[in-house]
């Protein structure tokens, strides 16, 4: 692991991160950290993980030269890292497949998870089926009705989906509920958290399982272009697909890394999830990080056309990247995102997830100014099939 200033000290990334949890959870967090430290770097574990990445997830995912998009933008050469081609349709499976191996090492019989759009819930239900373990997924009632197909997918995979009716009935409430379950059932249960957020060790653990994205992309771009890329672009919800792409390029300071948050209806409306544009530092769901909160410290309601970016917090290591200016954070609005969603579909025959379309939107907006001699990689974190219902509402011109 790299030991630069990005790296962790005592569960913190600079002033961010930590383990702000009830004492009863410390035992569980320590157990996860111990098993990770003991096994992750061993050749046996890496071999087993790699076997699942190849045979089950379908890795390496393609790095695709988007020729028509490149022509359209008339700027840099654009490549797409195709996480949409991974099993279950997004990068989430890279993490869940890794964590299920840890759960088995710990001898846990029961898996719990939180989910927003349902993508992480589906990826968790999938690996629980693979391992033959009981699976319970907490999901906000509001999200369950917005993402009914994914609820059915989880049930089909054998998971129990529990509606969360507290708070705004969305992702943050589901995560609170999952943490509550874990406190009660620590002995037989492993909590598969879905992003690089929450208490230590999750921000490290999930990052290490997602780094495969950037590791592959680095090798693939050198094969195709004979050099490293100039710019990397990825959407930022909790921050796992972006850190997965960026991390193996962190020592290459000359490479620009752009993280795109959800601009929702516009920053001025307050209806967005752009934590770095307007957020303040605080403690939320186990870690210190930038987050959207009001003056009394209450968590703000967020808004985005994409459920996967609709979250008030962000992974703590991103907060350090932000303060150190190692990554540039910007946002795309719902309108810019829907335009990108349609454009990528029609220029390349690739329907991206609405989350990923935020990253595409940034390149559409600013790519022309970056210069034709540049090479860009956009992380297509997932495919858009899950978003078709949502898109039908917002793109009525396609309804004929
Ligand atoms: C969950 C999700 C995201 C957002 O999560 P990160 O942890 O920021 O990657 C982005 N894209 C897709 C397709 C997702 O399912």
Q: pTM of the entire structure?
A: 0.96
Angle at 194 between CA 192 and CA 195, to 5 degrees: 130
Check whether 317 has a pLDDT greater than 50: yes
Report, as an integer, the average pLDDT of 150-161: 97
Pocket test for ligand 1, best of 241, 242, 316, 337 (most atoms within 8 A of CB): 241
To the query of whether residue 114 is one of the catalytic residues in this protein, the response is yes
Q: How close is the Cα of 153 to the center of ligand 1, in Å?
A: 18
To the query of whether residue 257 is one of the catalytic residues in this protein, the response is no
Segment 199-213, tens digit of pLDDT: 999 999 999 999 999
Q: Note the pLDDT of residue 189.
A: 98
Q: Check if 203 has its Cβ closer than 6 Å to any atom of ligand 1.
A: no
Check whether 377 has a pLDDT greater than 80: yes
To the query of whether residue 166 is one of the catalytic residues in this protein, the response is no
Q: Check if 382 has its Cβ closer than 6 Å to any atom of ligand 1.
A: yes
Burial code of 330-361, b = ≥16 C-beta within 10 A, e = fewer? bbbbbebbbbbbbbbbebbebbbbbbbbbbbb
Atom of ligand 1 nearest to the CA of 90: 13
Q: Note the pLDDT of residue 7.
A: 62
Rounded CA-CA distance 14/16 in Å is 6
Segment 39-96, tens digit of pLDDT: 999 999 999 999 999 999 999 999 999 999 999 999 999 999 999 999 999 999 999 9
Q: Residue 256, Cα to own-chain centre: how many angstroms?
A: 19
Q: How close is the Cα of 27 to the center of ligand 1, in Å?
A: 29
Q: How close is the Cα of 67 to the center of ligand 1, in Å?
A: 25
Q: How close is the Cα of 53 to the center of ligand 1, in Å?
A: 18
Q: Note the pLDDT of residue 4.
A: 44
Q: Note the pLDDT of residue 146.
A: 78
Report, as an integer, the average pLDDT of 114-125: 95
Check whether 8 has a pLDDT greater than 90: no
8 Å CB contact between 73 and 364: yes
Tokens representing residue 95 in the block: 């993490």
For ligand 1, atom 1: residue with the closest CA: 308
Q: Note the pLDDT of residue 390.
A: 86
Here the contacts of 338-341 (C-beta below 8 Å, separation 24 or greater) are: 338/305, 338/391, 338/394, 338/395, 339/364, 340/364, 341/384, 341/387, 341/391
Q: Check if 92 has its Cβ closer than 6 Å to any atom of ligand 1.
A: yes
Report, as an integer, the average pLDDT of 372-389: 96
Q: Check if 353 has its Cβ closer than 6 Å to any atom of ligand 1.
A: yes
Percent of all residues in the chain with a pLDDT value above 70, rounded to a whole number = 98
- As beta bridge partners, residue 260 has 235, 330
Check whether 165 has a pLDDT greater than 80: yes
Segment 223-277, tens digit of pLDDT: 999 999 999 999 999 999 999 999 999 999 999 999 999 999 999 999 999 999 9
Secondary structure percentages of the chain, helix, strand, coil, to 5: 50, 20, 30
76, 26, 77, 86: which is closest to 244 by C-alpha?
A: 86
Rounded CA-CA distance 203/286 in Å is 11
Q: What are the residues whose beta carbons fall under 8 Å from the beta carbon of 221, sequence distance 6 or more?
A: 63, 79, 227, 228, 229, 375, 377
């Amino acid at each position: 692991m790299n030991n630069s200033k990005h790296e962790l000290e005592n569960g913190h990334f600079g002033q961010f991160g930590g383990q702000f949890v009830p004492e009863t959870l410390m035992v569980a967090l320590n157990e996860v950290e111990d098993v990770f430290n003991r096994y992750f770097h061993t050749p046996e574990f890496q071999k087993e993980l790699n076997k699942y990445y190849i045979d089950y997830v379908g890795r390496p995912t393609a790095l695709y030269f988007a020729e028509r998009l490149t022509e359209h933008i008339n700027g840099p050469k654009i490549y797409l890292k195709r996480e949409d081609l991974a099993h279950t349709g997004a990068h989430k499976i890279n993490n869940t497949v890794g964590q299920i191996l840890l759960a088995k090492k710990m001898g846990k019989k029961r898996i719990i998870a939180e989910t927003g759009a349902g993508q992480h819930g589906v990826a968790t239900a999938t690996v629980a089926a693979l391992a033959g373990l009981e699976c319970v997924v907490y999901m906000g009632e509001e999200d369950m009705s917005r993402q009914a197909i994914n609820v059915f997918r989880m049930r089909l995979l054998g998971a129990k989906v529990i509606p969360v009716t507290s708070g705004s009935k969305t992702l943050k409430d589901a995560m609170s509920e999952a943490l509550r379950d874990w406190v009660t059932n620590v002995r037989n249960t492993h909590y598969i958290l879905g992003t690089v957020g929450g208490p230590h060790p999750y921000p490290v653990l999930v990052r290490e399982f997602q780094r495969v994205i950037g590791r592959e992309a680095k090798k693939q771009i050198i094969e195709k272009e004979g050099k490293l890329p100039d710019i990397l672009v990825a959407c930022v919800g909790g921050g796992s697909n972006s850190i997965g792409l960026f991390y193996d390029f962190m020592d290459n300071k000359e490479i620009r890394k752009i993280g795109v948050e959800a601009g929702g209806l516009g920053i001025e409306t307050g209806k967005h999830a752009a934590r770095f544009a307007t957020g303040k530092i605080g403690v939320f769901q186990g870690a210190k990080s930038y987050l959207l909160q009001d003056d009394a410290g209450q968590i703000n309601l967020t808004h985005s056309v994409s459920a996967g970016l609709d979250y008030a917090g962000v992974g703590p290591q991103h907060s350090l990247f932000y303060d150190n200016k190692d990554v540039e954070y910007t946002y795309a609005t719902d309108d810019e995102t829907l335009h990108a969603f349609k454009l990528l579909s029609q220029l390349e025959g690739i329907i991206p997830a609405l989350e990923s379309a935020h990253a595409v939107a940034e390149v559409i907006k600013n790519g022309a100014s970056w210069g034709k001699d540049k090479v860009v990689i956009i992380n297509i974190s997932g495919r858009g099939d899950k978003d078709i219902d949502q898109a039908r509402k917002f793109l009525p011109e396609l309804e004929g």
